[in-house]
Protein backbone atom coordinates (compact mmCIF):
# COMPACT_ATOMS: atom_id res chain seq x y z
CA UNK A 1 0.00 0.00 0.00
CA UNK A 2 1.23 3.49 -0.81
CA UNK A 3 0.58 5.60 2.33
CA UNK A 4 -0.43 9.21 2.08
CA UNK A 5 1.03 9.92 -1.35
CA UNK A 6 -0.55 13.34 -1.67
CA UNK A 7 0.39 14.43 1.85
CA UNK A 8 3.96 13.16 1.57
CA UNK A 9 4.59 15.10 -1.63
CA UNK A 10 2.55 18.17 -0.87
CA UNK A 11 0.51 17.74 -4.02
CA UNK A 12 -2.95 19.32 -4.26
CA UNK A 13 -5.82 16.87 -3.84
CA UNK A 14 -8.33 18.63 -6.08
CA UNK A 15 -9.17 18.04 -9.73
CA UNK A 16 -8.27 15.14 -11.97
CA UNK A 17 -4.67 14.91 -10.77
CA UNK A 18 -5.84 14.89 -7.18
CA UNK A 19 -8.31 12.10 -7.90
CA UNK A 20 -5.57 10.03 -9.51
CA UNK A 21 -3.21 10.63 -6.58
CA UNK A 22 -5.92 9.65 -4.10
CA UNK A 23 -6.61 6.44 -6.04
CA UNK A 24 -2.94 5.42 -5.98
CA UNK A 25 -2.78 6.43 -2.34
CA UNK A 26 -5.68 4.13 -1.49
CA UNK A 27 -4.91 1.13 -3.71
CA UNK A 28 -1.12 1.20 -4.09
CA UNK A 29 0.21 -0.78 -7.05
CA UNK A 30 -3.27 -1.90 -8.07
CA UNK A 31 -4.34 1.75 -8.19
CA UNK A 32 -1.36 2.60 -10.36
CA UNK A 33 -2.23 -0.23 -12.75
CA UNK A 34 -5.86 0.93 -12.88
CA UNK A 35 -4.74 4.49 -13.55
CA UNK A 36 -2.52 3.56 -16.50
CA UNK A 37 -5.20 1.24 -17.87
CA UNK A 38 -7.77 4.04 -17.79
CA UNK A 39 -5.29 6.45 -19.33
CA UNK A 40 -4.77 4.08 -22.27
CA UNK A 41 -8.49 3.43 -22.66
CA UNK A 42 -9.29 7.17 -22.56
CA UNK A 43 -6.66 8.16 -25.11
CA UNK A 44 -4.21 9.77 -22.71
CA UNK A 45 -6.81 11.85 -20.87
CA UNK A 46 -5.23 11.34 -17.43
CA UNK A 47 -2.04 13.11 -16.26
CA UNK A 48 0.02 9.92 -16.16
CA UNK A 49 3.21 11.47 -17.52
CA UNK A 50 3.21 13.83 -14.53
CA UNK A 51 2.11 11.29 -11.93
CA UNK A 52 4.64 8.57 -12.77
CA UNK A 53 7.65 10.71 -11.81
CA UNK A 54 5.77 11.59 -8.62
CA UNK A 55 5.26 7.91 -7.85
CA UNK A 56 8.94 7.33 -8.58
CA UNK A 57 9.85 9.99 -6.04
CA UNK A 58 7.64 8.44 -3.36
CA UNK A 59 9.44 5.12 -3.94
CA UNK A 60 12.53 6.74 -2.42
CA UNK A 61 10.51 7.14 0.78
CA UNK A 62 9.43 3.51 0.83
CA UNK A 63 5.88 4.24 -0.31
CA UNK A 64 6.16 1.61 -3.06
CA UNK A 65 8.87 -0.62 -4.48
CA UNK A 66 10.16 0.89 -7.73
CA UNK A 67 10.15 -2.51 -9.47
CA UNK A 68 6.55 -3.07 -8.43
CA UNK A 69 5.62 0.39 -9.71
CA UNK A 70 7.16 -0.32 -13.12
CA UNK A 71 5.44 -3.70 -13.36
CA UNK A 72 2.03 -2.35 -12.33
CA UNK A 73 2.21 0.70 -14.60
CA UNK A 74 3.24 -1.46 -17.55
CA UNK A 75 0.57 -4.10 -16.93
CA UNK A 76 -2.19 -1.52 -16.66
CA UNK A 77 -1.12 0.22 -19.85
CA UNK A 78 -1.02 -3.07 -21.76
CA UNK A 79 -4.56 -3.92 -20.61
CA UNK A 80 -5.83 -0.50 -21.63
CA UNK A 81 -4.09 -0.77 -25.00
CA UNK A 82 -5.73 -4.16 -25.58
CA UNK A 83 -9.11 -2.51 -25.03
CA UNK A 84 -8.24 0.06 -27.70
CA UNK A 85 -7.03 -2.68 -30.03
CA UNK A 86 -10.33 -4.53 -29.59
CA UNK A 87 -12.24 -1.34 -30.33
CA UNK A 88 -10.30 -0.76 -33.54
CA UNK A 89 -10.77 -4.38 -34.61
CA UNK A 90 -14.48 -4.28 -33.83
CA UNK A 91 -15.32 -0.97 -35.50
CA UNK A 92 -12.85 -0.88 -38.36
CA UNK A 93 -10.91 2.16 -39.51
CA UNK A 94 -13.73 4.48 -40.58
CA UNK A 95 -16.06 3.98 -37.61
CA UNK A 96 -13.16 3.98 -35.13
CA UNK A 97 -11.90 7.22 -36.64
CA UNK A 98 -15.34 8.82 -36.39
CA UNK A 99 -15.57 7.79 -32.73
CA UNK A 100 -12.11 9.20 -31.95
CA UNK A 101 -12.96 12.56 -33.48
CA UNK A 102 -15.98 12.85 -31.17
CA UNK A 103 -13.75 12.42 -28.11
CA UNK A 104 -12.92 15.76 -26.40
CA UNK A 105 -9.41 17.01 -27.10
CA UNK A 106 -8.67 14.71 -30.06
CA UNK A 107 -8.05 16.61 -33.29
CA UNK A 108 -8.21 15.44 -36.87
CA UNK A 109 -4.51 16.04 -37.43
CA UNK A 110 -3.67 13.92 -34.37
CA UNK A 111 -5.66 10.97 -35.69
CA UNK A 112 -4.12 11.47 -39.14
CA UNK A 113 -0.64 11.39 -37.61
CA UNK A 114 -1.31 8.15 -35.72
CA UNK A 115 -2.74 6.47 -38.83
CA UNK A 116 0.14 7.68 -41.00
CA UNK A 117 2.65 6.48 -38.41
CA UNK A 118 1.15 2.99 -38.45
CA UNK A 119 0.86 2.94 -42.24
CA UNK A 120 4.54 3.88 -42.53
CA UNK A 121 6.04 1.63 -39.87
CA UNK A 122 3.54 -1.21 -39.57
CA UNK A 123 3.90 -3.37 -36.46
CA UNK A 124 7.02 -1.47 -35.37
CA UNK A 125 4.85 1.65 -35.04
CA UNK A 126 3.30 0.14 -31.92
CA UNK A 127 6.71 -0.22 -30.31
CA UNK A 128 8.10 3.14 -31.42
CA UNK A 129 4.83 4.95 -30.76
CA UNK A 130 4.84 4.07 -27.06
CA UNK A 131 7.52 6.69 -26.41
CA UNK A 132 5.98 9.49 -28.50
CA UNK A 133 3.45 11.62 -26.58
CA UNK A 134 1.27 12.46 -29.61
CA UNK A 135 1.24 8.94 -31.06
CA UNK A 136 1.07 6.87 -27.86
CA UNK A 137 -2.60 7.50 -26.90
CA UNK A 138 -3.98 6.46 -30.30
CA UNK A 139 -1.65 3.94 -31.95
CA UNK A 140 -3.57 0.89 -30.69
CA UNK A 141 -6.66 1.87 -32.69
CA UNK A 142 -5.11 1.58 -36.18
CA UNK A 143 -3.27 -1.55 -35.01
CA UNK A 144 -6.62 -3.13 -34.17
CA UNK A 145 -8.34 -1.84 -37.29
CA UNK A 146 -5.60 -3.39 -39.45
CA UNK A 147 -5.80 -6.63 -37.42
CA UNK A 148 -2.12 -6.61 -36.46
CA UNK A 149 -0.97 -9.96 -35.05
CA UNK A 150 -2.25 -9.98 -31.47
CA UNK A 151 0.79 -11.73 -29.91
CA UNK A 152 3.11 -9.27 -31.65
CA UNK A 153 0.91 -6.36 -30.56
CA UNK A 154 1.05 -7.46 -26.93
CA UNK A 155 4.83 -8.03 -27.08
CA UNK A 156 5.63 -4.69 -28.71
CA UNK A 157 3.18 -2.84 -26.47
CA UNK A 158 4.71 -4.38 -23.35
CA UNK A 159 8.28 -3.58 -24.42
CA UNK A 160 7.54 -0.01 -25.49
CA UNK A 161 5.30 0.75 -22.53
CA UNK A 162 7.75 -0.67 -20.01
CA UNK A 163 10.54 1.41 -21.55
CA UNK A 164 8.56 4.64 -21.26
CA UNK A 165 7.00 4.05 -17.83
CA UNK A 166 10.34 2.88 -16.42
CA UNK A 167 11.98 6.03 -17.77
CA UNK A 168 9.44 8.28 -16.04
CA UNK A 169 9.38 6.33 -12.78
CA UNK A 170 13.15 5.97 -12.52
CA UNK A 171 13.64 9.63 -13.41
CA UNK A 172 11.40 10.65 -10.53
CA UNK A 173 13.19 8.15 -8.31
CA UNK A 174 16.63 9.53 -9.19
CA UNK A 175 15.68 13.21 -9.14
CA UNK A 176 14.06 12.93 -5.70
CA UNK A 177 12.47 16.20 -4.63
CA UNK A 178 13.11 17.60 -8.11
CA UNK A 179 10.87 14.92 -9.66
CA UNK A 180 8.66 17.60 -11.24
CA UNK A 181 11.52 18.57 -13.58
CA UNK A 182 11.04 15.32 -15.46
CA UNK A 183 8.27 16.87 -17.52
CA UNK A 184 10.70 19.55 -18.72
CA UNK A 185 12.79 16.85 -20.37
CA UNK A 186 10.05 14.46 -21.49
CA UNK A 187 10.56 15.35 -25.15
CA UNK A 188 14.29 14.74 -24.89
CA UNK A 189 13.70 11.39 -23.14
CA UNK A 190 11.39 10.31 -25.96
CA UNK A 191 14.00 11.20 -28.58
CA UNK A 192 16.83 9.42 -26.77
CA UNK A 193 14.74 6.27 -26.26
CA UNK A 194 13.57 6.28 -29.85
CA UNK A 195 17.10 6.58 -31.21
CA UNK A 196 18.96 4.29 -28.83
CA UNK A 197 16.88 1.96 -26.66
CA UNK A 198 13.97 0.97 -28.90
CA UNK A 199 16.07 -0.22 -31.89
CA UNK A 200 18.03 -2.43 -29.52
CA UNK A 201 14.83 -3.93 -28.14
CA UNK A 202 13.56 -4.55 -31.66
CA UNK A 203 16.81 -6.32 -32.54
CA UNK A 204 16.51 -8.56 -29.48
CA UNK A 205 12.91 -9.44 -30.35
CA UNK A 206 13.82 -10.21 -33.98
CA UNK A 207 16.75 -12.40 -32.95
CA UNK A 208 14.56 -14.36 -30.55
CA UNK A 209 11.93 -14.84 -33.24
CA UNK A 210 14.52 -16.03 -35.75
CA UNK A 211 16.01 -18.43 -33.20
CA UNK A 212 12.59 -19.92 -32.51
CA UNK A 213 12.01 -20.33 -36.24
CA UNK A 214 15.35 -22.11 -36.67
CA UNK A 215 14.56 -24.40 -33.75
CA UNK A 216 11.16 -25.18 -35.24
CA UNK A 217 12.68 -25.83 -38.66
CA UNK A 218 15.26 -28.15 -37.09
CA UNK A 219 12.57 -30.15 -35.29
CA UNK A 220 10.45 -30.38 -38.47
CA UNK A 221 13.50 -31.51 -40.45
CA UNK A 222 14.31 -34.26 -37.97
CA UNK A 223 10.71 -35.48 -37.99
CA UNK A 224 10.68 -35.59 -41.79
CA UNK A 225 13.92 -37.57 -41.92
CA UNK A 226 12.55 -39.98 -39.31
CA UNK A 227 9.40 -40.55 -41.34
CA UNK A 228 11.38 -41.14 -44.55
CA UNK A 229 13.74 -43.57 -42.72
Q: Report the domain count for the chain.
A: 1
Give the integer Cα–Cα distance in Å for 51 and 40: 14
Q: Which has more pLDDT, 185 or 172? A: 172
The mean-pLDDT minimum among 41-55, 114-128, 177-191 falls in: 177-191
**Is the pLDDT assigned to residue 145 strictly greater than 80?**
yes
Residues 147-161 pLDDT 10s: 888 998 999 899 889
Task: Give the mean pLDDT of 107-131.
Answer: 81
Tell me the mean pLDDT in the region 82-110.
Answer: 86
Averaged over 131-160, what is the pLDDT?
Answer: 86
| Domain that residue 151 falls in | 5-228
Who wins on pLDDT, 77 or 196? 77
CA distances (Å), 118 to each of 44, 114, 143, 185, 229, in order? Answer: 18, 6, 7, 26, 48
Q: How large is the average pLDDT for residues 22-51?
A: 83
Who has greater pLDDT, 215 or 68?
68
Question: What predicted TM-score, i.e. pTM, was given to this entire model?
Answer: 0.72
Quote the percentage of the chain above a pLDDT of 70.
Answer: 72
- H helices present in 60-185, as ranges: 66-101, 108-121, 124-129, 140-145, 150-175
pLDDT at 79: 94
pLDDT at 37: 92
Q: What is residue 85's predicted lDDT score, i.e. its pLDDT?
A: 93
Residue, of 121 and 165, whose pLDDT is higher = 165
Quick one: 115 exposed, middle or buried, by C-beta within 10 A (0-12, 13-18, 19+)?
Answer: buried
Amino acid sequence: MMPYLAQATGEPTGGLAGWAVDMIDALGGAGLALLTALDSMLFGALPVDVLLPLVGYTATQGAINIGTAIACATAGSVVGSLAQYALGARLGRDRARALLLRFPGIKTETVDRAEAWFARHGAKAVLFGRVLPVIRPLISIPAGAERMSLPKFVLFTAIGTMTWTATLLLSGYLLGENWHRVTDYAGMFAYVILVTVVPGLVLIAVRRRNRRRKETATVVGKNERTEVG
